[in-house]
Structure 1
Amino acid sequence: MQILYRSAFELARDIKAGHLSSTGVLEFFLDRIARFNGELNAVVALDEARARERATAADAAAARGEDWGPLHGVPLTIKDAYCTAGLVTVGGIPDCRDNIPASNAAAVQRYIDAGAIVFGKTNVPFMSADLQTYNEVYGVSNNPWNPARTCGGSSGGAAAALAAGLTPLELGSDIGGSIRTPSHFNGVFGHKSSFGVVSQAGHLPPGEGILAEPDLSVVGPLATCVDDLEHALDLLLGANAGDAPAWQVILPPPSFRETGGLRVAVWADDPFCPVDDEVLRCINSVAGTLQHLGARVDLEARPDIDPEANHRNYVQLLMAVMAGAMPDSVREMAAEAVAAADPADYSDGMLQMRGIALSHSAWQQQNEIRLRTRAAWSRFFEDVDVLLCPCVHVPAFPHDHAPDMLQRTLPVNGVARPYMDLLRWAGLTLNAYLPATVVPAGLTLDGLPVGVQVVSRYLGDRTTLAVARLLERHHRAFTAPPGYAQ
């Protein structure tokens, strides 16, 4: 019976029915890693002995008619930003190379409580703070579609492992495109959940035992099919431990019933972040598919926001989050730089300095701007069910590990653009806490995958997933990279 690229939840059903064994599925993925991971360096730590022990127990439980849950006996990997009890969790941070948590991150525990077996960890950038995946501890992770290209970040190892068939399901986090960009670069599905509906507890940074959950950041699944995204999200949903006695998360159903009633806005390009022609072509083809299915497609509808102003607001709020892990000396340096700068200077470097140096009162002012932006998006989604837009403006690009990100550039239609433009389309929707599902949209002429963000109103996760399901069925399902389909 087939294992490769099967739904993780289908694998669990077959394990419980005795059609597959958990031990056999585990050995299958370990063999795939032995065969393919050398070129990719996506899986960076294994827990084979404990995984085999738990797989044996899962098979014995199935034989007794016991049901551990919807992921009964399914072996899977976890992004190395999430704490895993007894299994090294580095987060790309050299000082954490020997860090072995005592407990699982909340989201990891929800997978395990559903019967999953964590057998390995997938690579991330230093502190999950880049859109390429490399660090001093584990090195560089490569893209299975072209190893000379990045697999993205920060969930880069997770997306590459899925695309290469090294794992059936993953767990990502996203504060700057870290689920969406790797999904786009590797041709897999990913879901950035609405802010606050899945607990971030146990994510590194900030790390094990920290109670405060960062602004902007969210947890979500990556998979090779929409079914797995939806079922995994159902497992992950819920309040953190402190809030659980008082409230629960119940997401509303999709905002449309029939495709003929689906209202789609398309924001495929914009001067605030010009989009590569090949990415633009693929996004427009997705819009064409939905229009062919009977959806009402509007190429002009936009929320009442200034995308450039939104970007400035987002980056300052983002860097205020990042500043929490920075030494006092860095924050002091940023404050001095801002004090000496032209008040009109919002270049990438100075924008970051402004965020790092934000006082609490200044943060409140930026938060008010963000709340007004959220209100504008809410009004927009009164007339629109979903927005299609780029995940990022380029396909996977060649590795560039120049230490100063501000010196890196990316070519867009023959013009060198700042590397930090990678945050622009991601932040456009993230800043308002909106859900977004990434769906494969097509391939560039040189064979690199392109994804599209399907975005909806806050807590409209089931709407974005419903549209993703339409596109999976009628536009493009997951396709394995060349050389990985067997």
Structure 2
Amino acid sequence: MLTAGEIAEQIRTGQVTSREVTEQLLDRIAEDTAVNAVVEVRREYALAAADQADAAVAAGAGGGASAIGPLHGVPMTVKDCFNVAGLHTTWGNPAFAEYVADRDATVVERLQRAGAIIVGKSNVHTMLADFGQTANEIYGRTNNPADLSRTAGGSSGGAAAGLAADLTYLEYGSDLVGSIRLPAAYCGVYGLKPTNGLVPQRGFQVPGTPYLPSELPNLSTIGPLARSAADLRTALRVTAGPDAPYAWALTPPRHRHLSDFRVGVVTDHPAAQVSSEVGDAMAEAIDRLARSGAKIVDGWPDEVDAGEQAEEFGRQVGLFFALHGGDPTELTVDELLATERRRMIARAKWQQYFDEVDVFLCPTSFTVAFPHGSTTIDNQPYDAQVFWIAHASLTGHPALNLPIGHTKTELPVGAQVIGPWHEDDTAITFAELLAG
């Protein structure tokens, strides 16, 4: 399966037309009866946009990525929670089944400005409320393309499954409790939770809720899913930066050769003991890293208690929902300030660690994709899935899932790469180099 970047290059150089690519993609979506990843499409719009993209190439605009957008003519989907003018935004909730957006989310505007063709929407878990599975009463359940009896993860399960099943070339999702990284790991694709606040969230709201920028703690982040690390970089470059048109540029990576990286590594923890399948794949990835000449630093950052930080993240998620319309918190002002102080202390400790280490490598999840309906996984609690993604979510550091292999039964295994604050491309470049 080709990446978004490869398709864009073929369209620019005339090897294929956007019309051909888009029509074939729409046909694959229409023919899918098993995965159920893409739940709404706009075929006529997509084909008209593809014809316009081809006309631009034919007119001589295809001289390079600088002449036309880096995603010129590439068909893609976005998670159902993003507003796309003329399409439904349901959040998987029957109460919003008839809601149709009247304007595009900021990320949708920017993707289209870069040349992408938004052909439709991918499935979500009801109100994005599950990190381990994707199902709702409107569109049903999304299945893992590697094994239909297993989960695609949540709540961006449709996004990850769509990429893995060749039903889209690029995706955009959201991540509060691993909702980009966990599905990406279970489906064998790349998924980036950018530095918190890096990508504007206008148009990523529950229907009927106004967009109100807030300085209050906001753990929720939106970011791309893709079939390559390079596609993550492209998508981030065209969508990140302040909502207003201020100048912004992606910070260059610290290194461009794998041998130059200093890599922190942890492969297991009692709170979420990794399965042998995940452990074996992690060991192979670390062996590749060692052979490259990179410096490997074992263990958690100094003064970081991984278990305590994971528990703190759980408390912060509860506070997040209280601040965004959920059950009110009974915390006093002093207690609220104390929670924010703990979050900032955790961020400072990790950022100090990144003065001496470039990236941190660990599992994305302790397990591979598990059977639908599981309440315990590998004799561990369902919520153990949250442990490995909790630390970057708490501190706001960029983190991505990197596919690192498959089990004997061809289930994907993912590793998580955490990078320094606002140095997303350091994590992306490391993942790109390690993948080879």
TM-score (norm 2): 0.93
Q: Which residue of 2 aligns with 1:104?
A: 104
Aligned counterparts of 2:428 and 2:123: Cα–Cα separation in 1 = 26
- 1:173, CA displacement in angstroms? 1.2
Contact 2:205 2:211 in 1 (8 A): no
Q: Which residue of 1 aligns with 2:270?
A: 271
**Equivalent AA in structure 2 for residue 119 of structure 1:** V
Aligned counterparts of 1:13 and 1:274: Cα–Cα separation in 2 = 42
Please state whether the residue corresponding to 2:408 is helix, strand or coil: coil
- Alignment of 1:418 with 2:418, yes or no, is no
- 1:285, CA displacement in angstroms? 1.4
- 1:316, CA displacement in angstroms? 1.6
Please state whether the residue corresponding to 1:442 is helix, strand or coil: strand
Q: Which residue of 1 aligns with 2:64?
A: none
Gaps of 5+ in 2: 62-66
Aligned counterparts of 2:98 and 2:274: Cα–Cα separation in 1 = 41
Q: Which residue of 1 aligns with 2:344?
A: 371
- Alignment of 1:50 with 2:45, yes or no, is yes
**Equivalent AA in structure 1 for residue 55 of structure 2:** A
Q: Which residue of 2 aligns with 1:38?
A: 33
Please state whether the residue corresponding to 1:228 is helix, strand or coil: helix
Aligned counterparts of 2:430 and 2:115: Cα–Cα separation in 1 = 29
Aligned counterparts of 1:396 and 1:220: Cα–Cα separation in 2 = 21
- Change in Cα spacing, 1:10 to 1:257, as seen in structure 2 (3 Å) is closer
Q: What CA deviation, in whole Å up to 9, does each residue of 1:254-306 have, x standing for no partner? A: 22354333111111111132222211211121111110110111223534211
Aligned counterparts of 2:201 and 2:106: Cα–Cα separation in 1 = 7
How well do the aligned residues superpose, as a CA RMSD in angstroms? 1.9
Contact 1:23 1:59 in 2 (8 A): yes
- Alignment of 1:281 with 2:276, yes or no, is no
Q: Which residue of 2 aligns with 1:297?
A: 296
**Equivalent AA in structure 2 for residue 371 of structure 1:** M
Aligned counterparts of 1:437 and 1:359: Cα–Cα separation in 2 = 35
Aligned counterparts of 1:255 and 1:421: Cα–Cα separation in 2 = 32
Q: Select between 153-162 and 294-303 the one with higher mean Cα deviation.
A: 294-303
1:331-410 correspondence to structure 2 within 5 Å? 331=328, 356-400=329-373, 408-410=375-377
**Equivalent AA in structure 2 for residue 171 of structure 1:** Y
Gaps of 5+ in 1: 332-355, 402-407, 474-486
Aligned counterparts of 2:53 and 2:250: Cα–Cα separation in 1 = 31
- 1:452, CA displacement in angstroms? 0.3
Q: Select between 304-313 and 149-158 the one with higher mean Cα deviation.
A: 304-313
Contact 2:90 2:207 in 1 (8 A): no
**Equivalent AA in structure 2 for residue 281 of structure 1:** D
Would you say how many aligned residue pairs link Structure 1 and Structure 2? 428
TM-score (norm 1): 0.84
Aligned counterparts of 1:171 and 1:137: Cα–Cα separation in 2 = 21
* Aligned-pair identity (%): 39
- 1:207, CA displacement in angstroms? 6.4
**Equivalent AA in structure 2 for residue 78 of structure 1:** V
Q: Which residue of 2 aligns with 1:17?
A: 13
Q: What CA deviation, in whole Å up to 9, does each residue of 1:210-254 have, x standing for no partner? A: 12357011121111112211111111121013xx44xx4434322
- 1:55, CA displacement in angstroms? 1.6
**Equivalent AA in structure 1 for residue 25 of structure 2:** F
Q: Select between 12-21 and 218-227 the one with higher mean Cα deviation.
A: 12-21
Aligned counterparts of 2:357 and 2:207: Cα–Cα separation in 1 = 36
Aligned counterparts of 2:219 and 2:332: Cα–Cα separation in 1 = 18
Aligned counterparts of 1:21 and 1:39: Cα–Cα separation in 2 = 28
